């Protein structure tokens, strides 16, 4: 146990560790607690602020992969522009609202940073080549979470079927009965679809 | 004599020019009577009905009309939104009209296993309807076999 003996401790880290372990002789417990409390608020607030900064549309489209591909498609959809002006931006659908799920998703995003560095989808052609795989990831996550992010705004329980069109009423009642989730039917509502011949060959020309 | 004739000719052609001007003033361009330096008022966009019963046909071989809104229904090489309800695989579940059997033939009348490329772009023939007044008067009436009257 070298760090218990001051005479054998020469390294900077070792001395810092010793200072850290030694009880305070100068400051009261109250003062230390207070400083710790304030510092806690500052660091926690700072951490969440930094996380929120990575959680807005401008941050998402600051990389060209997003801006030139999916963002352009999203601009023509109802989630971008509509009669009431209520919008759902990238993180509203792609980042969970609850803290634990949000942090897990943020940690997963480091994989996306890796692919950004590797240039996995840095051209339109590469993006299109990976499109089906990328879409499948989102679909499977949505399926697993019962379309949790959709339901932050769209909730079966508060849907007024009387206000919906004939087709919507029929489909939604059936979906509710069969325990379906939003993404089962609503694929490609905010972005263009990949080649769907794998999912439903009768929707695509040339497939069987 | 020649002088008289040429005067008459000049007068005649001048009167022609005058009448041409007169008719030009009656003609309305697509911008209406708006002066060239002013901005014209664009017509209000027509609203499509959300949903409805199938619309009756007006003539033999008329492609059936689309009785619902199709905003943002994409048709491209990757997928066709119409077919997610109207294909033979999906129409029963969706409660939709199935596409015609004729759509499975190519131009050489070879029968295909899936929709033919020349029939893939639904909106080339099938269109949704808005409640719009006809641009010109039209006295067309469907034949009895179709209208039943």
ipTM of the complex: 0.77
Q: Where are the domains of chain B?
A: 43-132+142-149
Residues β-bridged to residue B111 = B105
Neighbour-count burial of B45, counting CB atoms closer than 10 A to its CB (0-12 exposed, 13-18 middle, 19+ buried): exposed
C-alpha span between A182 and A172 (Å, rounded): 9
| Per-residue CA distances from A38 to A19, A48, B5 (Å) | 22, 15, 109
Contacts of residue B83 in chain A, CB cutoff 8 Å?
200, 202-204
How close B56 gets to chain A, by Cα (Å)?
18
C-alpha span between A146 and A140 (Å, rounded): 10
B4 confidence band (pLDDT: 50, 70, 90): low
How close A55 gets to chain B, by Cα (Å)?
27
Residues β-bridged to residue B66 = B128
Superfamily of domain B43-132+142-149 in CATH is Flavocytochrome C3; Chain A (1.10.1130.10)
Contacts of residue A189 in chain B, CB cutoff 8 Å?
72
Q: Where are the domains of chain A?
A: 62-154
pTM for the full model? 0.78
Q: What is the mean pLDDT of residues B135-146?
A: 85
Give tens-digit pLDDT for A149-170.
999 999 888 889 898 988 899 8
> Tens of pLDDT along chain A (208 residues)?
445 555 567 889 998 898 888 888 888 999 999 999 999 999 999 999 999 999 999 999 999 999 999 999 999 999 999 999 999 999 999 999 999 999 999 999 999 999 999 999 999 999 999 999 999 999 999 999 999 999 999 988 888 989 898 889 988 999 889 999 999 999 999 999 999 998 889 999 887 6
- Residues of chain B with pLDDT > 90, as a percent, come to 42
If we measure between CA atoms, which residue out of B84, B89, B82 comes closest to residue B119? B82
Q: Is the pLDDT of residue B8 over 60?
A: no
Give tens-digit pLDDT for B24-52.
567 777 777 788 888 888 888 888 888 88
């Amino acid at each position: 146990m070298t760090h218990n003996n001051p005479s054998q401790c020469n390294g900077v880290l070792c001395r810092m560790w010793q200072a850290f372990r030694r009880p305070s002789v100068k400051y009261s417990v109250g003062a230390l607690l207070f400083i710790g409390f304030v510092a806690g608020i500052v660091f926690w607030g700072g951490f969440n602020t930094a996380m929120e900064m990575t959680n807005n549309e401008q941050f998402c489209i600051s990389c060209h992969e997003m801006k030139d591909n999916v963002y352009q498609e999203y601009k023509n959809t109802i989630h971008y522009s509509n009669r009431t002006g209520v919008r759902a931006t990238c993180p509203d659908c792609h980042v969970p609202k609850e803290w634990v799920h949000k942090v897990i998703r943020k940690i997963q995003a480091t994989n996306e940073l890796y692919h950004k560095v590797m240039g996995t989808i840095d051209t339109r052609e590469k993006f299109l080549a990976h499109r089906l795989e990328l879409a499948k990831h989102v679909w499977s996550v949505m399926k697993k979470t019962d379309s949790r992010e959709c339901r932050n705004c769209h909730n079966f329980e508060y849907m007024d079927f009387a206000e919906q069109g004939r087709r919507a009423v029929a489909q939604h009642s059936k979906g509710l009965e069969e325990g379906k989730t939003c993404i089962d039917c609503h694929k490609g509502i905010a972005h263009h679809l990949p080649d769907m011949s794998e999912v439903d060959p009768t929707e695509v020309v040339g497939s069987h | 004599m020649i002088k008289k004739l040429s005067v008459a000719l000049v007068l005649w052609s001048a009167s022609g020019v005058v009448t041409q001007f007169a008719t030009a003033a009656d003609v309305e361009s697509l911008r209406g009577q708006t002066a060239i330096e002013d901005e014209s008022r664009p017509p209000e966009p027509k609203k499509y009905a959300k949903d409805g019963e199938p619309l009756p046909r007006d003539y033999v071989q008329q492609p059936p009309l689309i009785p619902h809104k199709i905003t943002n229904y994409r048709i491209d090489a990757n997928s066709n939104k119409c077919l997610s309800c109207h294909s033979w695989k999906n129409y029963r579940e969706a409660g939709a009209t199935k596409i015609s059997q004729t759509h499975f033939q190519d131009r050489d009348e070879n029968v295909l296993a899936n929709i033919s490329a020349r029939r893939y772009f639904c909106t080339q023939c099938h269109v949704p309807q808005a409640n719009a007044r006809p641009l010109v008067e039209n006295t067309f009436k469907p034949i009895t076999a179709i209208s039943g009257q």
